[in-house]
C-alpha cells in the first residue's frame, strides 16, 4: 500500500440508474469509505443515508434565520417608536425614539408590530434558505476537479456518479480502482487534481 497520488482528486464511477448509484454508495459505505459523494440530476431517495452523510443543517439554520427576522422587526419597531419619554431622550439619536402618536394609541403597540415581524420572519428565512444552501453547497466556487472528466457533463441530465476522493484514509489507487470496477459502472475515470 503506497501513499495516494498527490495529483489525483479521486475516482469517478458512472451509473445509468439511481438505484445503481444507491447500491454502489451502500457498498462503498459498507467497505468503509467516508470521503465520497454522489452526483445526480435530481434528488435520489435514500442516497444520503447510503453515502453515510449526516442530515443537512438547513432546517435549523432556516429556523434561526426566521427567529432572527422576527426578533429584528420587533426590536426595531419597539426601539424606534419607543416607550414612554425618559430622561435619556436627549442622549439618544433621533431615529431611536421616533415616537409616532397614532390616534392616541400607546407607543408600544405590539399588535401593529406583528405584520412586520411576520414579514421579516419570512424574508430572513427565505434568505437563509437561499444563501445557506449556496454556501453549504460550496459556492462561490469557480471550478471543480470533476469538471475535467468529460462524462461528468451528463450528471446534470441523465447519469449518476459516485466519486471516492483521494483524501479518504482507505483510498489506495489500485485497490479502490479494483473495488469500483467491481461495482459494474458504465465508466470509471481518474479525476486529476
Partner 1 sequence: MSNLTVRVKERALKASGLAFTVGLVGLLVSISLLFVTGSQAFFQSYLTAYILPSGLAIGCLALLMIQHVSGGYWGYVVRRPCEAGARTLPFVAIMFLPLFLGLTDVYKFFPKEHEHNSPEAHLNVHSDNRLWAWSDPDLEIEDHEKIVLDAKKGYLSDNFFIIRTVGAFALWIGMGLGLSALARVEDSKGWSPSLKQSMQYISGPGIVVHALVILLISTDWSMSLQPIWYSTMYPVIFGFGQILSAMALNSIVFIYLRDGGEDLNDSRNRKILRDLGSFLLGFTVFWTYITFSQFLLIWSANLKEEVPYYLARSRGGWEYLTWALGLGHFLIPFLVLLFREAKRRADVLWKVAVFILVMRFADIYWQIRPAFDPGHWDIGLETVQDLASFTGLMGIWIGLFFREVSKYGLYPENDPRKDTEPVHTVADDVIIPNTAH
Residue 103 as a binder of partner 1 (CB under 8 A): the answer is yes
| Beta bridge partners of residue 188, listed in sequence order | 13
Judged by CB under 8 A, the stretch of 6-14, 23-31, 173-181, 183-191 that binds partner 1 is 23-31
Residue 45 as a binder of partner 1 (CB under 8 A): the answer is yes
Residue 101 as a binder of partner 1 (CB under 8 A): the answer is no
Outline where DSSP puts E strands in 87-148: none
Nearer to partner 1, 111 or 140 (CB): 111
Nearer to partner 1, 44 or 149 (CB): 44
Residue 111 as a binder of partner 1 (CB under 8 A): the answer is yes
All 3 cell numbers of residue 115? 405584520
Nearer to partner 1, 6 or 43 (CB): 43
Judged by CB under 8 A, the stretch of 48-56, 93-101, 143-151, 184-192 that binds partner 1 is 48-56
Residue 133 as a binder of partner 1 (CB under 8 A): the answer is no
Residues 6+ apart with CB under 8 A from 141: none
Judged by CB under 8 A, the stretch of 8-16, 47-55, 88-96, 146-154 that binds partner 1 is 47-55
3-state secondary structure of 12: strand
Burial of 125 (0-12, 13-18, 19+ CB in 10 A): buried
| Beta bridge partners of residue 14, listed in sequence order | 161, 187
Residue 63 as a binder of partner 1 (CB under 8 A): the answer is yes
Burial of 193 (0-12, 13-18, 19+ CB in 10 A): exposed
Cβ–Cβ under 8 Å, residues 12 and 189: yes
3-state secondary structure of 23: helix
Query: Rounded distance, CA 32 to CA 44, Å?
Result: 22
Residue 183 as a binder of partner 1 (CB under 8 A): the answer is no
From the list 83, 85, 106, 115, which residue makes contact with partner 1 (rule: CB under 8 A)? 115
Q: Which residues form the interface with partner 1 (CB under 8 A)?
A: 22, 26, 29-30, 42-50, 55, 59, 63, 103, 105, 111-112, 114-115
Amino acid at each position: 500500500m503506497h501513499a495516494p497520488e498527490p495529483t489525483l482528486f479521486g475516482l469517478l464511477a458512472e451509473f445509468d440508474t439511481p438505484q445503481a448509484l444507491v447500491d454502489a454508495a451502500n457498498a462503498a459505505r459498507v467497505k468503509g469509505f467516508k470521503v465520497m459523494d454522489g452526483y445526480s440530476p435530481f434528488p435520489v431517495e435514500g442516497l444520503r443515508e447510503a453515502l453515510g452523510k449526516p442530515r443537512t443543517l438547513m432546517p435549523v439554520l432556516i429556523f434561526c434565520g426566521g427567529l432572527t427576522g422576527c426578533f429584528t422587526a420587533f426590536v426595531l419597531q419597539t426601539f424606534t417608536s419607543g416607550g414612554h419619554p425618559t430622561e435619556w431622550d436627549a442622549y439618544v439619536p433621533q431615529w431611536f425614539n421616533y415616537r409616532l402618536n397614532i390616534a392616541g394609541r400607546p407607543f408600544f403597540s405590539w399588535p401593529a408590530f406583528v405584520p412586520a415581524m411576520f414579514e421579516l420572519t419570512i424574508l430572513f428565512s427565505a434568505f437563509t434558505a437561499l444563501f445557506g444552501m449556496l454556501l453549504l453547497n460550496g459556492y462561490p466556487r469557480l471550478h471543480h476537479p470533476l469538471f475535467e472528466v468529460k462524462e461528468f457533463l451528463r450528471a446534470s441530465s441523465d447519469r449518476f456518479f459516485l466519486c471516492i476522493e483521494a483524501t479518504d484514509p482507505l483510498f489506495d489507487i489500485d485497490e479502490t480502482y479494483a473495488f469500483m470496477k467491481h461495482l459494474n459502472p458504465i465508466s470509471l475515470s481518474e479525476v486529476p487534481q
